[in-house]
Amino acid sequence: MKLKSIVMTAVVSVILLVGTAQAAMTLHEIGRAPFYQPPLTSVDDLKKMVQTEEMDVKRGFDLTPQADLYPAFMDQIFKADIEAVEFEKGSKFEWMFYKKKGKGAPRVVKDVTWGNEKPFPGYKFYIDNDGSRYTFAVPLGCGNIALMGVSPIPAAAVVPPVAAPVVANKSPRCNMVVSPVKAFCGEMVTVDATSSTDADGNVVKMIVAFLDSQGRVVSEKVIDGLQAEVAMPCGANTVKVVVTDDDGAKGASPGCVADVSSLSRVGFLADAGYYHQFDPGNYLFGRIGIEYKLTHDWSLLGLVGGAVHVDGSDGKSAFLIDALAEYKWSRYYVDFGVGGWITDGDDDNPAEDSQLDFVLGLGARVYGEPDAFNTSLFVEMRSAFDEFDELGEYGRFGFGVRFRF
């Protein structure tokens, strides 16, 4: 019985040691799993990170025991007293949330200790909620938000009342979010400055200005209130908001300036390629046209051009008029619609006659960005509607390159 008791005690000790080891983590390097990139360089960078990553910040809090602290955190971070400090070896954090290799959903690790001899730089600040003061830390190199500890809010010192001096009205502090930051000319975007604050009054209205790449105002609107939908003007590169309090003082800050992109619905494109007809016949074709973007995914294409018959016993050179719908996803797109194949050939010869075609194509962008000049490769099939049963003989199959301007 004594031996059995000793063995059971040893097993329980091992389990407790293993559980303790698994619950704790010693950190030796900053930046391997950053919540935010690039590294923070200023308090404004920290606030911008919290603003732009707002949804992931909430997801991170939801994984911690202090999930209900999120509203207080977002309400106080923009007016908190944030100090730059050096975190020495042995600094402890109850939890820290991060992203694996800087990507994907946030994750949380608990009971973290800094184990490197070299201290790391970061920011330290306090958030108060329900009578408790929460001490937070954010390393500059990764933007990971960490809780260091919780303590009671210090009692305010009791001082004898004195006559309040007359002080000048303080300017409000501006904070805002714009969504979406990319929109077509004339499309409505939401400007939300409800997180702006005023130390001695209330923020009551805002001025929303859109600026071009040279800093010139292309559109400006005064709005009663702190949230509104405004039209994205053509040529806008930046939106800037100035808020006004109930005493007329105005306030602006880096948190009220954001980059935006005003997108044109109309673009130009050009195609060059090759068709093969098994009848047989070979063609080199070229088209130019206009793209009208209905949404960010759907477009209408109008194309004109020609197909030159270069080889084969059948077929004639043709004038092309194509009207296509296009759906985009990622870097790929599919085109479908109708096209006119107009020739001076024999109308009784299916390989040479003028006809109304069904056109189907599939392509992929290989160079450039979607909203700038880019190049793609595509494959395309076209056949007269009354010749689907002879597609293998009279259908035309090809490939080409497309340039969007």
Domain spans, the chain = 23-152, 177-263, 266-404
DSSP SS3 for 337: strand
Cβ neighbours, 10 Å, residue 244 = 21
Domain 177-263 adopts which CATH fold? Immunoglobulin-like (2.60.40)
- Confidence bin at 303 (pLDDT 50/70/90): very high
Task: Report pTM.
Answer: 0.52
Which residue, among 303, 352, 293, has the nearest Cα to 327 in the 3D structure? 293
Provide the token pair at 239: 């939106």
Which residue, among 324, 312, 331, has the nearest Cα to 359 in the 3D structure? 324
Domain 266-404 adopts which CATH fold? Porin (2.40.160)
Provide the token pair at 320: 């092309």
116 exposed, middle or buried (CB, 10 Å; 0-12, 13-18, 19+)? middle
Amino acid identity at 384: A
pLDDT in tens, 342-357: 999 888 888 888 999 9
d(CA 128, CA 153): 7
pLDDT in tens, 354-364: 999 999 999 99
Please name the residue that has the structure tokens 């016993």. 313
d(CA 103, CA 331): 20
What does DSSP assign to residue 163?
P
Using the predicted structure, report yes or no on whether residue 307 has a pLDDT greater than 50. yes
Q: Specify the pLDDT at position 49.
A: 94
Q: Specify the pLDDT at position 168.
A: 84
Helix axes 43-52 and 54-62, enclosed angle (nearest 10): 80
How far, in whole angstroms, is CA 277 from its chain's centroid? Answer: 45
Those residues whose C-beta lies under 8 Å from the C-beta of residue 18, and which sit 6 or more positions away, are: none
pLDDT in tens, 242-289: 999 988 899 888 889 999 999 999 999 999 999 999 989 999 999 999
